[in-house]
Chains A and B, each alone.
Chain A
Amino acid sequence: MVENRPWLTFFTHAVLVIGVIIVVFPVYVALIASTHGPFAMGSGRMPLLPGDQLWNNVVEVLTETRRGAAPFWLMAWNSLWMAVIITAGKIVISILSAFAIVYFRFPGRVLAFWIIFITLMLPVEVRIIPTFAVVANLGLLNSYLGLTIPLIASATATFLFRQFFMTVPDELMEAARVDGAGPMKFFRDILLPLSRTNIAALCVILFIFGWMQYLWPMLVTTDPNYYTLMMGVKRMAAVQDADPQWNIIMAAVVMAMLPPVLIVIFMQRLFVKGLVETEK
């Protein structure tokens, strides 16, 4: 579509710029706040230019443990574990279940698919109390398993892989059968390499999903050894009888943002490819 309407162009760009400002400004404030000393924010005037205390703040976040929280590195470790286990678990389970649903004829196949599909309509928040009860009864509170397992069952990823597998021509599977590849060999040698970009895209999405979990870890952990970063940052702000140390909190926030940002930067090429391209 070729159009030349200067006002329309101006207007659309203005809307976009405003949108970007709304999204980016809070992040910018967090960045700025993490570079100032303890008194800059307490004074009531929020500085909008970078200060020179970034390094001190970072060192303090890394070395000192806030009251009610756990050491930063421990929380980061917990968050990382949680994100990695959720990502890996979700991908393994959903790719295998999609493989079963698409390539095998068994009684209840359609039913199985629909049950998985229906769980899409019930996010963790909706079923949080029964889920908590199950996890508690299994004795999984305050453990990595309790943190991750309820979040692993994933309809979205199963659905995505199913859709992808359905676009793979049947003849490929038949050719593999003629070539002497059994089901799992076909899965490993042909389906898995073909799903590479899809898996990469899912990795990015799921890692961020896992890293950003807040409500669930808060429910199932009472032992500071299992606190994750997202809860920890919140706990840093909830101090009693004192002003929150916003410079330190914001430094922690900025550091907590780093892993997802790095993941997106390094996986960007594969990520975009996985979402837009189907390899033929």
Chain B
Amino acid sequence: MASIDIKGVRKVYPGNVKAIHALDLSIEDGEMVVLVGPSGCGKSTLLRMIAGLETITDGTISIGSDVVNRKEPAERDIAMVFQNYALYPHMSVRQNLEYGLKNRGTPRDEIDRRVTEAARILEITPFLERKPRQLSGGQRQRVAMGRAIVRQPKAFLFDEPLSNLDAKLRGQMRIEIRRLQRNLKTTSVYVTHDQLEAMTLADRLVVMNGGRIEQVGKPIDLYDRPASLFVAGFIGSPPMNLIPVEQLRALAGAAMPVLPEGTDILGIRPDGIMVGGSGGIPLSGVVELIEPVGGESHLYVRVEGIDQVLILVLQGRAEVAETERVDFVLPVAALHGFNRESGKRVE
């Protein structure tokens, strides 16, 4: 168990391709931090630099109190779970779990104890003598986790561990990873591009874009107060509606609230828009499409006066039909103001 400190870390690939721009991040002991962002945002590169699989161009990474820049992955005392599991195909599950411990010279009885314990936690005891190819995707995933657990490392690093699983299994494993991490209280860094996974797993969420950190914080804080247009669009599903202020002003007239200096884009969550009701910016539009998701319905409404489709989330069944007209208001309290130029939130 240890904290991880990333100070001014940069990664430049040959050919002057900058993958990470001077990045600072502190991960506390026992914390689960999720790095999320679109592909190519540098989240995997950052994880691999923590693991020691990529060199660090500049800056320092410390695990616990040691600067690990020049240490081999094995010396950093971390364990990694890979997207394709990376189980050794010719070894049985037991041998897979034992391999890292044997290389460290762990005594035999200690190895047996840890393997038995990990197998019990992960419910893979019946498969210990099988080869990885005889296991299903979910079981392989468990073995990969087991290989990390038996090591009792300072930190777990997860590199999109669930993206090879089907949706149902992914949901299950997500909960298991969370439970496991809570019980073991091992510092974890988890990389994903799935914002739902990111929201549900993270103690703290790190949204990355173009090699930079956009925002760090509790998932719910990021959802409630996105610091930039990028975070606003990335976190939440369906995504936040973004409307240019000048268009809205022309439409709303006197109902337009006073906005802080520099606000030229307003954002509103699909579930913040109220159908019927009053006390905000009143708008109306034609329903183009309804997606009934079950407990809620997603309405795609083309707003009259501005040529833009807004997404509304209604609880329960929609009481309107496609092609019908609907009146709704944007409550002032639910609005997020952004500056187009800087992409930042305006308070």
Contacts and interface: CB of A to CB of B under 8 A. Distances in A.
B89 interface: yes
Interface in B79-100: 79-80, 82-84, 86-90, 99-100
Contacts of A108: none
Interface string A134-174: 00000000000000000000000000000000000101101
A178 B84 contact: no
A171 B79 CA distance: 13
Contact of A179 (B53, B74, B83, B90): B74
B294 to A, nearest CB: 37
B72 interface: yes
A60 to B, nearest CB: 50
B90 A175 contact: no
B185 to A, nearest CB: 21
A279 B91 CA distance: 12
Given A171-B82, A185-B103, A280-B133, A177 B73 contact: yes
A180 interface: yes
Interface string B28-62: 00000000000000000000000111000000000
Given A178-B100, A280-B133, A194 B90 contact: yes
B84 A169 contact: yes
A174 B79 CA distance: 11
A175 B88 CA distance: 9
B78 interface: yes
A52 interface: no
Contacts of A178: 51-53, 73-74, 78-80, 100
Given A185-B103, A189-B99, A177 B89 contact: no
Contacts of A123: none
A276 B302 CA distance: 58
B104 interface: yes
Nearest to A181: B103
B90 A279 contact: yes
Contacts of B51: 174, 178
A184 to B, nearest CB: 12
Contacts of B80: 174-175, 178
Given A174-B80, A175-B80, A180 B104 contact: yes
Nearest to B80: A178
Contacts of A180: 74, 100, 103-104
Interface in A240-267: none
A193 interface: yes
Given A171-B84, A176-B88, A176-B99, 20 more contacts: A172-B86, A174-B51, A174-B53, A174-B86, A175-B82, A175-B86, A175-B87, A175-B88, A177-B53, A177-B72, A177-B73, A177-B74, A179-B74, A179-B147, A180-B74, A180-B104, A190-B90, A196-B90, A279-B89, A280-B89
24 contacts: A172-B86, A172-B88, A174-B82, A174-B86, A175-B82, A175-B87, A175-B88, A175-B147, A176-B99, A177-B72, A177-B73, A178-B51, A178-B78, A178-B80, A179-B74, A179-B103, A179-B147, A180-B100, A189-B99, A190-B90, A193-B90, A194-B90, A196-B90, A279-B89
